[in-house]
Amino acid sequence: MDFDRPRNVSFFDFAGGVQLLHGVNARSVLPVILIGICWTGVIGNLLVLLSLIHDLRNGTASEVKSLLAGLSSTDLLITLLCAPVRAVTYYRQTWILGSLLCQTADWFQHSCLVAKTFTLAATTGARCTFVSGSSDSKYFSHMQIYGALAFIWIASLVSSTPLTIFTSLQPYHDVKLCVTEIPFCASGFMDVFYKIYPTLTYLVPILFTVVHYTKTLLDTKPKGDLDVTNAQPQDKGATAVWLSVSVANALMLLPEWSSWTWARLGYSNNYTPPVGFVIFSQVLMYSCSSLSPIIFLTAYEDVRHGLKSLWLFRTCRRSKRTSISTSPNMEENGAWGRGAIVIYPLVDLKHIFPDLEHFWTERVNTHDPLPWESQEEKSYFKS
């Protein structure tokens, strides 16, 4: 990276990804890796969402499943919208996506990261409440869940707003770069923001998760009248899955938050993170959004059961349509759809059995499909 940083600002850094990179690896390998992560994350999160939507339509949704839908939606946004921006930036080595995306790229990405962390913390509280048996998961308010998710997203978007104030598109020779420049007049406020922002949006939710999951794993009280031997293994298995996702999220986002804080707090002392560490932290961050659905699809029983139910539903529906399409054609002579009844000859007079021939002799109405004179007499059916 060949670029002279200006000295008349309190902070300067690239926004929307590292630019002006040199080398074949930066332009070819990194975009391919990010595109692979994008496809994995999009497919995995869509499968999780399809399973949860199927449960919601069947009336088997719960508070934890609703929060999981919000978590998967956030991961889907990260892999579908944020990662491709970095891939394009690494491939072109400059910014070509316009001024609006330049101002909002980092803001939207950090908003998704904060929303994901807060949603995991909210799920932790829901899991603790469910395992402790203080409430029944079957009776929950959809409006409360929607309100909680809306509050999480509003708080995430608002808390990341300062990231858009000093981000702009700047010309550099014959290209344009997306950069963040903070003047000296705003350095005091931004220094405080750079310390409070990662603490409230990353460290506090992690501490909340550690405390509550420790309490949940140590809690052995059964839920209501359920048998301990039947209830606890399933609950602890689901708790272990959520704990694995929370630990993976905390560890894989740690390099991103470390490089982000390091670059801003160490800029005044000319002590910034290496470019390789910054790129590695971003790739690891996107990989986290692809790893979470893999954990849910392979280890979370509710998601696996939902996918099986969805598969059986689609298979049965397809079989039903096939059976209807292969049934005898009822559209002959326009009878289908108009309520008309089509009567076909029951027997051929030339092939009547001798013992039944007297039923057909000397009949006035030869088109009567019933081979007897009176319905009150004993009926004989030819099989």
pLDDT tens-digit readout, 30-56: 999 999 999 999 999 999 999 888 888
pLDDT score of 251 more than 50: yes
Q: pTM of the full predicted structure?
A: 0.76
CA atoms of 293 and 75, how far apart (whole Å): 9
* pLDDT for residue 11: 87
Closest by Cα among 164, 179, 163 to 5: 179
Which residues are CB-neighbours of 132 under 8 A, at least 6 positions away?
216, 219, 221, 223
Looking at residue 370, its pLDDT comes to 55
Q: Domain ranges in the chain?
A: 11-317, 338-383
- pLDDT at position 178 is 93
Q: Are 239 and 127 in contact (CB under 8 A)?
A: yes
pLDDT in tens, 255-272: 999 999 999 988 877 788
Higher pLDDT, 59 or 46: 46
How confident is the model over 209-243, as pLDDT tens digits? Answer: 888 877 776 765 554 444 444 445 556 678 788 88
Q: What are phi and psi of 196, to 5 degrees?
A: -80, -40
pLDDT grade for 129, boundaries at 50, 70 and 90: confident
Query: What topology does CATH give the domain 11-317?
Result: Rhopdopsin 7-helix transmembrane proteins (1.20.1070)
Task: Kindly report which listed range (16-25, 75-84, 106-115) carries the lowest average pLDDT score.
Answer: 16-25
Q: Distance (Å, rounded) from C-alpha 198 to C-alpha 181?
A: 20
The pLDDT value recorded for residue 278 is 92
Q: What is the percent of the chain with per-residue pLDDT over 90, rounded to a whole number?
A: 42
pLDDT for the residue numbered 336: 46
Mean pLDDT for the chain?
A: 79
**332-367: pLDDT as tens digits:** 444 444 444 444 454 444 454 555 555 555 555 555
Pick the residue with more confidence: 78 or 363?
78
Q: How far apart are CA 84 and CA 99, in angstroms?
A: 17
